[in-house]
Amino acid sequence: MSASVSSNLVYLSDASRKRGSRAAPAFMPERVYVDREVADHPTTIRILERLHGCEADVVDDIRRLKRPDDIATAKRRMILTQHRGQAFKACQGMGPGHLCCGYRVIDLVSGCPMQCSYCILQSYLANNPTTTVNVNLEAILSQVGEFLDAAPDRFYRIGTGELADSLALDPILDFAGLLISFFARRRNALLELKTKTAFVDHLLDIKHRGRTVVSWSVNTPSVIASEERSVASLDERLAAARRAGEAGYGVGFHFDPIIMEGSVDETVSKYDEVVDRILDEIDPKTIAWISLGLLRYPGSLPETAMKSFPGTRIFTGELVPIGGKFRYPRFMRNMVYKPLWDRLSARIPARKLYLCMETPAVWNRVDKGVRASRDIAGRLCNMRSLGG
Amino acid sequence: MLLQYLSISDINTADDSFRITFAPELESLTRSIRAVGIIQPINVRHTPENTYQVVTGYKRVLVMQELGRQSMPALVHEPGDLSPTQAFMWSLHDNAANRELNLIEKSIALTKLGHFCSVSEEDLVKRFLPLFGMDASYKILHQLLSLTQLTEPLKNYVVQSDLALSSAGRIAEFSSSTQQELLPVLTQIRPSASKLNELLTLIREIAARDGMTVEEILHRYQFMQVVADRSTTPADKVRALRQALRGIKLPQLTERQNQMAQLVRSLDLPESAKVVHDPYFEDEKIKLECRFSTPEEIEQLANKIQAAFQKQHWHQIFDWYKT
């Protein structure tokens, strides 16, 4: 063990600091709390080595840690613990009356060092905002393996980006390589690593066997500038996507959240530019899927978000309470989705496109072939996603 | 501690160190003092500067001043016998135990407990909010503390109109000059808490979206004329303001709702029938509600529905509704 445990503090040796200097982490927590139950876990030790001497407290019960007063403080801290419940589950994003793409998620990390005004994690993780890493990866992947083995005739899309960015902490955690190798051996699943970073270079030489899609949340440069912090620029995301595609990975893009700025026509025009950039700069054959999702948020989000983004205007648009969330009315969603869908489907197969958390009525306006959730899953949950 | 008759002019009523009372109701106390005088002496703290700070009995001092009396009985405490913190706690418990504090008084008490007695936020929530008959919630604490941002006229309005905490808290988020502008509007429309919260939210969101001040919004859209119109009731004014603000905040939805209303009018249905739809057009189904008292009314409706079919009006509605 290269980290020495002294009373309740873990200090890193100079030697381990040198070994941990593989790549400069983009994010470095100021303080780390280690659940005593995982203090000797190899993954804990490996992560602490990467943290270049960051002081860590070993705590008996992480639930008793005092909650930071603000999100910014929480984001500068990290908890290393283990997931005690079901870490592999169906995507929670499906609302009443929505069609679902059949996505499943693995909760390895909750919380994120980046900050976006529209991010629902600000509300969802309000009671537990500190970045929390589950180090018992082998046990979690064992759950996934058992699940996949039990249904060999079904095919699943599985992601790690529901409660966190899949790659933002990878310079410290190095989980992505382990996940990619795990999924390379599976016959009935695709892994999706969803990110707003450009941290892909450490993945390029891994044998993925075509079982991993690296995807990017994208937005207009103006939304990225005003609503997203500590993220890669659109240029950097597209350049990273190109590198991933050249390394044989499938790549994905998520226009989510699409935010109305000005009139519908002005909004569509701004997103058209991003569509064109993607299709001009990324080999369409490498694109596994592209999703569209207009802004939606729980009623509690604006108050929380405006503490960090007091100048944001995204909550002042024509959003109304629908199904427990604030959303643009259906006719406005139609007006935005239809032209974007048509523009995308003119250059890549429509079977690679999907709407996130949308109703059959809205789907009907863009693609009459999709009437039920199984229609979306049938298109995306297979290896054809990675074909041209 | 000594019981003394103090000259009222020696009592420093401008020193509000321990005062919680705000906008006190003095009528019944005045009647009582007129009838039988002061029954219970007040508590004062004798300062090194030889002044007397009121610890308990602020209202009695006000009444005695008002009645032009020269002196009143007081229990006088020397500074060494009664610390400022103790004095404030006496005042707090004397008030909270004997009556329900209004929102502004609760705000004053909590602010002074924090600043003056160094009580932690956690203690304010867990010990003192229940003392004031409120839930032990950080949100409630922060709302109450925010009321110190209200101007004096608005504080009076909050007390006089018995405003809900959520509404008072929203008003406190506005600047002093905006509060000044809002006051005549509020006094004339007298909205319920939910309506007031909706109106304030709409105004704030429009201001943020359009980069305008609240004052500019009130004047640009001529809301002051709506408010000042003597021919309408307060409820009508609230309705008119709400409708106008929603039209500004949600222009495309409002236009669509107007289009729908026009299409429904083209059906020429009798008054006994009503087309009901999801106000946000999310639900694909439209409901037709009818009430009848005679078979003839049913026949009349059936004929109207049939006529609208012949003119393709129903198809127009459904085709348009799907878009």
Q: Which pLDDT value is given to residue A123?
A: 87
Residue with tokens 């190798």: A181
Q: For A257, what's the count of Cα atoms within 13 Å in the CB-facing half-sphere? A: 21
Q: Which pLDDT value is given to residue B319?
A: 92
Say yes or no: A54 and A112 in one domain. no
Q: Which of B208, B253, B281 sits opposite A318 (nearest CB)?
A: B253
Query: Is residue B15 over pLDDT 80?
Result: yes
Nearest CA among B96, B99, B98, B46 for reference residue B74: B46
In a domain, A71, yes or no: no
Q: Which pLDDT value is given to residue A67?
A: 75
- Closest-CA distance of chain B to residue A339, Å: 13
Say yes or no: A94 and A165 in one domain. yes
Residue by residue, DSSP assigns A362-387 as HHHHH-TT--SHHHHHHHHSSGGGG-
Q: How far apart are CA A218 and CA A252, in angstroms?
A: 10
Interval B222-264: pLDDT, tens:
888 888 898 999 999 999 999 999 999 999 999 999 999 999 9
SS3 B130: helix
Helix crossing, B251-266 with A330-345: angle to 10°?
110
Q: Over chain B, what is the mean pLDDT?
A: 93
Q: Which residues face A327 on adjacent strands? A: A296, A320
Say yes or no: A170 and A40 in one domain. no
Cα separations in angstroms, A241 against A180, A290, B54: 16, 13, 72
Sign of CA dihedral A135, A137, A143, A148: positive
State whether residue A68 sits within 8 Å of chain B by CB: no
Chain B contacts of A318, Cβ < 8 Å? 249-253
Helix crossing, B193-210 with B165-172: angle to 10°?
20
Cα separations in angstroms, A177 against A44, A193, A214: 16, 11, 12
Closest residue, chain B, to A262 (C-alpha): B209
State whether residue B277 sits within 8 Å of chain A by CB: no
Query: By percentage, how much of chain A surpasses pLDDT 90?
Result: 70
Nearest CA among B126, B180, B114, B178 for reference residue B152: B180
Query: Is residue B136 over pLDDT 60?
Result: yes
Closest residue, chain B, to A335 (C-alpha): B323
Chain B contacts of A332, Cβ < 8 Å? 252-253
> How many CB atoms neighbour CB A90 within 10 A?
11
> How many CB atoms neighbour CB A253 within 10 A?
24
Say yes or no: A93 and A204 in one domain. yes
Say yes or no: A62 and A108 in one domain. no
Q: Which pLDDT value is given to residue B4?
A: 93
Chain A contacts of B281, Cβ < 8 Å? 329-331
Mutation target among B125, B197, B252, B255 for the A interface, most CBs of A within 10 A? B252
Q: How far apart are CA B317 and CA A298, in angstroms?
A: 32
State whether residue A304 sits within 8 Å of chain B by CB: no
State whether residue A36 sits within 8 Å of chain B by CB: no
Query: By percentage, how much of chain B surpasses pLDDT 90?
Result: 83
Say yes or no: A137 and A248 in one domain. yes
Say yes or no: A233 and A364 in one domain. yes
Closest residue, chain B, to A264 (C-alpha): B252
Section B275-293 average pLDDT: 93
Q: How confident is the model at residue B210 (pLDDT cuts 50, 70, 90)?
A: very high
SS3 B291: coil
Nearest CA among A83, A242, A87 for reference residue A159: A87
Domain span at residue A31 reads 3-66
Residue with tokens 């990975």: A249
Q: How far apart are CA A27 and CA B58, in angstroms?
A: 58
Say yes or no: A55 and A100 in one domain. no
Instruction: Assign domain B1-99 to its CATH architecture.
Output: Alpha-Beta Complex (3.90)
Residue by residue, DSSP assigns A50-114 as HTTT--EEEES-GGGSPPPSSHHHHHTEEEEE---S--EEE-TT--TT-B----EEE-SEE--SS
> How many CB atoms neighbour CB A303 within 10 A?
12
Instruction: Give the length of chain B.
Output: 323
Contacts of A164 (CB under 8 A, 6+ apart): A108, A109, A110, A111, A112, A131
Q: Which residues face B289 on adjacent strands? A: B274
Nearest CA among A388, A116, A381 for reference residue A231: A116
Residue with tokens 């699409």: A258
Q: Which of A313, A315, A329 sits opposite B280 (nearest CB)?
A: A329
> How many CB atoms neighbour CB A168 within 10 A?
26
> How many CB atoms neighbour CB A373 within 10 A?
15
Which pair of tokens denotes residue B59? 């209202």
Interval A84-123: pLDDT, tens:
888 898 887 666 788 888 899 999 999 999 999 999 999 8
Q: Which amino acid is at A369?
A: G
State whether residue B322 sits within 8 Å of chain A by CB: yes
pTM: 0.83
DSSP state of B102: P
State whether residue B263 sits within 8 Å of chain A by CB: no
Residue with tokens 């008072």: B168
Q: Which of A318, A361, A364 sits opposite B252 (nearest CB)?
A: A318
Interface contact flag, B282 A318, Cβ < 8 Å: no
Q: How far apart are CA A116 and CA A224, in angstroms?
A: 9
Q: How far apart are CA B314 and CA A156, in angstroms?
A: 44
Closest residue, chain B, to A263 (C-alpha): B252
Say yes or no: A185 and A50 in one domain. no
Q: Which pLDDT value is given to residue A385?
A: 61
Low-confidence stretches of chain A (pLDDT < 70) are 1-26, 69, 93-95, 384-388
Closest residue, chain A, to B207 (C-alpha): A316
Q: Which amino acid is at A13?
A: S
> How many CB atoms neighbour CB A53 within 10 A?
15
Residue by residue, DSSP assigns A152-201 as TTS-EEEES-SSS-SSTTHHHH-HHHHHHHHHHT-SSEEEEEEESS---G
Q: Which pLDDT value is given to residue A93?
A: 65
Chain B contacts of A365, Cβ < 8 Å? 322-323
Q: Which pLDDT value is given to residue A18?
A: 37
State whether residue B289 sits within 8 Å of chain A by CB: no
**Rounded to an integer, what is the distance from CA A317 to the centroid of its chain?**
25
**Rounded to an integer, what is the distance from CA B2 to the centroid of its chain?**
43
Check: CB of residue A92 under 8 Å from CB of residue A120.
no
Q: Which pLDDT value is given to residue A11?
A: 31
Angle at alpha carbon of residue A305, lines to B181 and A168, rounded to 5°: 160
State whether residue A316 sits within 8 Å of chain B by CB: yes
Q: How far apart are CA A130 and CA A75, in angstroms?
A: 6
User: What's the Rg (C-alpha) of chain B?
Assistant: 29
Check: CB of residue B45 under 8 Å from CB of residue B79.
yes
- Closest-CA distance of chain B to residue A316, Å: 5
Q: Which residues face A133 on adjacent strands? A: A80, A109
Q: Which pLDDT value is given to residue B101?
A: 94
State whether residue A124 sits within 8 Å of chain B by CB: no
Which pair of tokens denotes residue A28? 């470095």
- For the CA atoms of B235, B241, B245, B248, the dihedral, rounded to the nearest 10 degrees, stands at 130
Helix crossing, B103-116 with B84-98: angle to 10°?
160
Interface contact flag, A318 B280, Cβ < 8 Å: no
Say yes or no: A50 and A115 in one domain. no
Q: Which pLDDT value is given to residue A24?
A: 40
Chain B contacts of A364, Cβ < 8 Å? 322
In a domain, A298, yes or no: yes
State whether residue A359 sits within 8 Å of chain B by CB: yes
How many interface pairs between A and B have CB atoms less than 8 angstroms apart?
Answer: 44
Q: What are the structural domain ranges in chain B?
A: 1-99, 150-249, 267-322
Say yes or no: A46 and A109 in one domain. no
- Laid out side by side, the sheet with A320-322 consists of A296-297, A325-327, A320-322
Interface contact flag, A322 B280, Cβ < 8 Å: yes
Q: How far apart are CA A318 and CA A267, in angstroms?
A: 13
> Which CATH number covers residue A170?
3.80.30.30
Q: Which pLDDT value is given to residue A27?
A: 81
Angle at alpha carbon of residue A218, lines to A213 and A224, rounded to 5°: 145
Q: Which pLDDT value is given to residue A94?
A: 66
Interface contact flag, B209 A317, Cβ < 8 Å: yes
Q: Which pLDDT value is given to residue A13?
A: 32
Angle at alpha carbon of residue B18, lines to B13 and B22, rounded to 5°: 70
Check: CB of residue B281 under 8 Å from CB of residue B246.
no
Q: Which pLDDT value is given to residue A140?
A: 95
Interface contact flag, A330 B282, Cβ < 8 Å: yes
Q: How far apart are CA A23 and CA A170, in angstroms?
A: 10
**Rounded to an integer, what is the distance from CA A209 to the centroid of its chain?**
22
In a domain, A25, yes or no: yes
State whether residue A315 sits within 8 Å of chain B by CB: yes
- Domain final residue, candidates A66, A96, A116: A66
Q: Based on the structure, what is the number of domains in chain A?
A: 2
Say yes or no: A115 and A11 in one domain. no
> N- to C-terminal Cα distance for chain A?
48
Q: Which pLDDT value is given to residue A9?
A: 32
